[in-house]
Structure 1
Amino acid sequence: MTRLQRLIPASVFCFVVVPAYAADTAQDWLLRIHRAPQVLNYEGTFVYQHGGRLDTMRIFHRAVDGAVTERLVSLTGPAREVIRTDQEVRCYLPDQKAIFIEQRRLGRNPFLGIVPDRLPDLEQNYAIQLGGKARITGRAAQQLAIRARDDYRYGYRLWADQETGLLLKAELMSDSGKKLEQFMFTQLNIGGAILDSMLVAHTSADGMAWYRDNEVTDGGPTRSWRAARLPSGFKLFSNVLRRLPRDERIVRQLVYTDSLAAVSVFIESADVAKSDDMVEGPTSMGALNALGKILDRHHVTVVGEVPVKTILMISDSLVPESRP
């Protein structure tokens, strides 16, 4: 596992039905998409196309009184299993004989990271339009188009279930109209019971090493950092210290978001950073871009599903706010 993969949260992997109220505007539909997983039970199979790969996953999702639990199982490629709750994500990787545990931070949809409190500001940086009707996995769907108003962020094409608002298909689009990523259900059942047995890991933990990625209150970089320049709409969402799994190093993580796109900045002392797995210079994994460099005796990694110029702007403008 590379350093970039360790930094990226693992999540880059009911009986109640959402009220079928009239969603007259595109923003109404975005709110329905955001709220649907919080109140729905469903199980199905989806495909995720990214970075030249096509992964097929099985998902079991349950929502009870606002508490959400889901289990994802890979059907193609290396065996892996993910258990997600509102508090944490557990990723089982049998080929690495490892189980990674991390705290949930953004509480975002794995594909579409809506921050609902900031939806009113969304149209400053995105043009959002309702499209036509379609059918996805046998269900009537409403299409939405989210076009970036500048080239510092990507656009989206979305298809939401007409009845429940659940996201059935999503495409991440470059400013030239190239499809960068795609998520789509190929089989889906909404409603009904999701049993406890469907939500527990079926991968044996015997012989597996456990690694926990925690927020900590001290250690690591003592300086507070900030990006002096940000693309329009991007604001600081969180600033925490994290203990990386496996090697126990502590890094500072800043998260900037425009309510859809998110960029993470990881900062650690260059004295403790491991040269054999540090990100150096620009790199990319499909729609994900990253850049690593040494800055003022610290190693800095900036990473996000945004264009390269956004990564460069944030990386070039990082400054320490104070000295220890």
Structure 2
Amino acid sequence: MLGRVVGGFLTGIVMAQASFAGTAATDWLARMAESHRQLNYSGIVTYQVGERVNSFRISHYVGNGQEFESLEALDGNEAEWVRSGHDVNCIHPGPEMIRLLGEQADGGLTQQYSIAIDGQTRVAGRDGVVMKISPKDEYRLGYTLTLDEETGLMLRSEILSEQGKVLERFQYVALEFDSENGAAVSSQALQVSHKVPVRGAAARSETLREWRPTWVPSGFRLAEVEGEDANGMTFTDGLAVISVFVESLNPATTKAASEQPMRRGASVSYSVAVPERQALVSVVGEVPMLTAKQIARSLEWLRQ
């Protein structure tokens, strides 16, 4: 989530200091967390993972207290997805955790990341504020975000490796607000369900399972999701999300299963067999492989 300063590095820094000295970086994050669900807009976006780039047309409309979004692939296999039925007040795990953690002096997002405004740039013809989000430990990835100066909408994002390499990039190349095709978007939309995290339910969630990880990086909190079964757990620190799954294997499969690390862009998957439990443990998330591996290998079973 991120950007490149256009018009000169020094000029951008001076302008940022003059224009945004009174606005904390965390305030920009809060604006970003809400803006994408409350605005009417349409545009063309590119999504890059490694050397592969795909483009999409996105339309977003809010009406009658409901949220509608259409996403159409513009290259590759033609496809279109339309999401609807998300009440604009529903809780999204990442943004909600940003607010919750920010309210706690002993466990805020800034305890895990260094967050700073890093100048200005232009993306899709819009003035943007560049933000650098750097992890304070080796268990997280870094981010560079460009937020629309007027609305707070995220115009560009980059997820960075431990070495600072861009793993994934999302960017608007054209963007219009107050889109007039909102009615068309909502009329095409298909009703979908939306999982809502339940706060303060960590203890109850863990009692549903026969296992639990004994280690997750500091700052990650259990985010129970409605409809989530006993085979999975989800954790978030407000930016990154990690999911842990356990599936049963028969003896022959368990014996043949081996360590399976995989990476696609910023997302990693690490699976390892636990022969004595005839189980396969998998950890998936936008974190370094080191993090996924340590979580998977920390699982303990609560019943012998």
Structure 2: 5+ residue stretches without partners:
1-19, 197-207
Is the aligned partner of 1:307 residue 2:288? yes
TM-score (norm 1): 0.71
**Whole-Å separation in 2 of the counterparts to 1:199 and 1:69:** 6
Displacement after TM superposition at 1:322 (Å): 3.7
Per-residue CA distance 1:15-59 (angstroms, 9 max, x = gap): xxxxxx997100000001011122200000100101432110110
Q: Name 2:272's counterpart in structure 1.
A: 293
**Whole-Å separation in 2 of the counterparts to 1:68 and 1:195:** 10
Gap change, CA 1:199 and 1:29, over 3 Å in 2: same
What's the C-alpha RMSD, in Å, of the aligned pairs?
3.4
Per-residue CA distance 1:138-192 (angstroms, 9 max, x = gap): 1111111101111111111111111111110111111211111101000000114
**Whole-Å separation in 1 of the counterparts to 2:235 and 2:267:** 15
Q: Name 2:121's counterpart in structure 1.
A: 134
Is the aligned partner of 1:67 residue 2:66? yes
Is the aligned partner of 1:191 residue 2:178? yes
Q: For the Cα contact (< 8 Å) 2:60–2:67, is it kept in 1?
A: yes
Q: 1:260 aligns with which of 239, 259, 278?
A: 239
Identity across the alignment (%): 33
Q: 1:118 aligns with which of 94, 97, 101?
A: 101
Gap change, CA 1:240 and 1:299, over 3 Å in 2: farther
Q: Name 2:200's counterpart in structure 1.
A: none
Higher helix proportion (structure 1 or 2): 2
Q: Name 1:107's counterpart in structure 2.
A: 92
Per-residue CA distance 1:232-272 (angstroms, 9 max, x = gap): 21121126765xxxxxxx77111011111011111122249
Q: 1:269 aligns with which of 239, 245, 248?
A: 248
Q: For the Cα contact (< 8 Å) 1:293–1:300, is it kept in 2?
A: yes
Per-residue CA distance 1:100-127 (angstroms, 9 max, x = gap): xxxxx97357xx8964322341011100
Gap change, CA 1:241 and 1:312, over 3 Å in 2: farther
**Whole-Å separation in 1 of the counterparts to 2:301 and 2:118:** 45
Q: For the Cα contact (< 8 Å) 2:98–2:109, is it kept in 1?
A: no
Displacement after TM superposition at 1:64 (Å): 2.9
Q: For the Cα contact (< 8 Å) 1:125–1:149, is it kept in 2?
A: yes
Is the aligned partner of 1:233 residue 2:212? no
Q: Name 1:36's counterpart in structure 2.
A: 35
**Whole-Å separation in 2 of the counterparts to 1:256 and 1:279:** 25
**Whole-Å separation in 2 of the counterparts to 1:113 and 1:76:** 34
Gap change, CA 1:57 and 1:166, over 3 Å in 2: same
Gap change, CA 1:83 and 1:271, over 3 Å in 2: farther
The residue correspondences of 1:199-214 to structure 2 (distance < 5 A) are 199=186
Q: Name 1:3's counterpart in structure 2.
A: none
**Whole-Å separation in 1 of the counterparts to 2:169 and 2:263:** 17
Structure 1: 5+ residue stretches without partners:
1-20, 89-104, 206-211, 216-221, 243-249
2:157 alignment partner, SS class: strand
Q: Name 1:94's counterpart in structure 2.
A: none
Largest Rg, 1 or 2: 2
The residue correspondences of 1:4-83 to structure 2 (distance < 5 A) are 24-64=23-63, 66-83=65-82
